[in-house]
Amino acid sequence: MRLHTLGALVALGALGAGAACAQPIDENPPTKTIQCIDVGGQSIPASCNVPGSRLDPREYICTCPNGGQRVEVAVCAKGQKPPAESKALNVARREGIRDGSLLGDTVKGQAICVAPRNRG
């Protein structure tokens, strides 16, 4: 019985740590988001809990239920476009996720970023 209680406490601690990795509340619009990256560098769709408003671009928490490593990536600034999907981008993401983040990483001189949610 004690082992089950200890396991439940560890699981709750892990959930709390995951919530701490969500986007900062004070960033509106957000400057970073989460991507799920496969071992080959391919992007896998993330599942994000978002506000009910279509006008609020923030995300509360994103997970990778279909696999892949959960990494932070910059949201493209106004007028900036994300790099096109290519083998070079996959290689850059594969190398970039070694530190757990794609923030500040580039491919062929272009910053790796993703389009903002609800681009208007």
Give me the percent of the chain exceeding a pLDDT of 70. 75
Residue 54 is predicted with a pLDDT of 78
Residue 26 is predicted with a pLDDT of 64
| Weakest mean pLDDT among 51-65, 79-93, 95-109 | 51-65
CA distance 46 to 69: 10
Residue 51 is predicted with a pLDDT of 84
Token representation of residue 20: 């701490």
Residue 18 is predicted with a pLDDT of 46
* Rounded average pLDDT over 66-91: 94
| Buried b / exposed e along 29-48 (16+ C-beta atoms within 10 A) | ebebbbbbbbeebebeebeb
Instruction: Write the pLDDT tens digit of every residue in 12-67.
Output: 444 444 444 555 566 677 899 999 999 999 999 999 998 888 778 888 899 999 99
CA distance 24 to 92: 26
Q: At residue 10, does pLDDT exceed 80?
A: no
